[in-house]
Amino acid sequence: MTNEKERTDSFSTPCVSANTASITGIVDYVSWYRDEPLLKFAQPGVAIHQRPDIALTEFIDTNVKVVISENKYCTECGKKTESSPCPDCAGEPPYTSCVMCPTIHCDYMNCPYPDYKQRSCSHTHVVYFVTTDRVKVGITRESRARRRWAEQGASHAIPIARAPNRKAAGIIETALSTKWSHRRHHRWYQPMDDSVQRLVDDTLSAIDLIPKQLRPCFLWEDASEEVVRDAVVELPSVESSSLEGGLVPSDCMMNAGETREGRVLGIRGRLIATDGFVINLNTYSGHVITLETNDPFFEDADLRVKVDSERSSQDIDPDREDVLISEEVTA
């Protein structure tokens, strides 16, 4: 059984060193808020929107030393575990199969989680296309679409259908995934040269695969190519001026238990790219991370648990596909 003191100590508030040049905490996940990437630190028993975070943009063009522990802890309860969330916590939304795979497992009319359904699944969802080095289909709540696209590291995006709930959106996504992948890349990629045109072409052809009873959800029936093009959203890019063409010198992925050093060149979704390695932070959700630099840029950081009413309305509703499938196999 996990020692209670070990569990408590592991989840103390993230610690900023005396010289304000290093920080240690438990990785929760990466969220994008107002086009800025934030590393959230796990705090079991604390609402998602109240958990401490640090702005990753502070690292651009900074030499950083990264240490990732081998041990892993459940970000929900704090127990030492091999997977996060642990099996006990994975039995409740948003970690249940009905949220993960609504097309197959969601019994919308007889939902066993009515509170979660009202808070999340019954809200309007959008089915979308995003571009990385390919076109990907996905779903998310309409209220957080832009954040979701940024969290996936997309260069461009467009909503293609608006559904009344997560179940209906999932059915459309499953139909479209026969042609467009719904899996994400977990490595640094070279963006497509023709992202906008690909989104326009694919959006206009998508209706042919949408089930007939859900075609009224499609947003672009009879729309001109020009109208669809104007609806394509360009996502923010957080990169060093020395990162030419989105390419990094090395795409070698950092592993748990390692210590690496490098100059940060870019941040894309949950990925941080340096001149020597790339780290996928969401892959290490539940691991202890230490970030150390020679510059005291943490001096203004306030990592205490706090309430932010403006952000809580978005973050408290846990539409966390970025966390739930952080370790899925790339198709």
Kindly indicate the confidence band of residue 117, based on its pLDDT and cuts at 50, 70 and 90: confident
Q: What is the pLDDT of residues 149-191, one digit of tens each?
A: 999 999 999 999 999 999 999 999 999 999 998 877 678 888 8
CA distance 36 to 38: 6
User: What pLDDT shows up at residue 188?
Assistant: 85
Q: What is the pLDDT of residues 45-68, one digit of tens each?
A: 787 778 888 899 989 999 999 999
Q: What is the pLDDT of residues 3-42, one digit of tens each?
A: 444 443 445 556 655 455 788 889 999 999 889 999 999 8
Rounded mean pLDDT, 289-318: 55
Rounded mean pLDDT, 240-266: 86
What's the helix, strand, coil split of the chain in %, to 5?
A: 30, 25, 40
Domain ranges of the chain: 4-89+238-324, 90-234
CA distance 113 to 98: 10
For residue 39, give the DSSP letter: E
Give me 65's structure tokens: 């030393």
Reduced to 3 states, what is the DSSP secondary structure of residue 203?
A: helix
User: What pLDDT shows up at residue 322?
Assistant: 39
| Helix (H), strand (E), coil (C) string for 131-195 | ECCCEEEEEEEHHHHHHHHHHCCCCEEEEEEEECCHHHHHHHHHHHCCCCECCCCCCCCCCCCCH
Q: Left if phi > 0, otherwise alpha if psi is -120 to 50, otherwise beta: which for 269?
A: left
Kindly indicate the confidence band of residue 245, based on its pLDDT and cuts at 50, 70 and 90: low
User: What pLDDT shows up at residue 19?
Assistant: 54
The answer to whether 142 touches 317, Cβ cutoff 8 Å, is no
> For residue 115, with 0-12 CB atoms within 10 Å meaning exposed, 13-18 middle and 19 or more buried, which class applies?
exposed
Work out the mean pLDDT of the chain and round it to a whole number. Answer: 82
User: What pLDDT shows up at residue 23?
Assistant: 86
Whether pTM exceeds 0.75: yes
Q: What is the pLDDT of residues 66-84, one digit of tens each?
A: 999 999 999 888 888 888 8
Q: Left if phi > 0, otherwise alpha if psi is -120 to 50, otherwise beta: which for 61?
A: left
User: What percent of the chain lies above the pLDDT cut of 70?
Assistant: 82
Q: Is the pLDDT of residue 110 over 90?
A: no
- CA dihedral for 176, 177, 183, 187, sign (positive or negative): negative
Reduced to 3 states, what is the DSSP secondary structure of residue 229?
A: helix
CA distance 152 to 270: 7
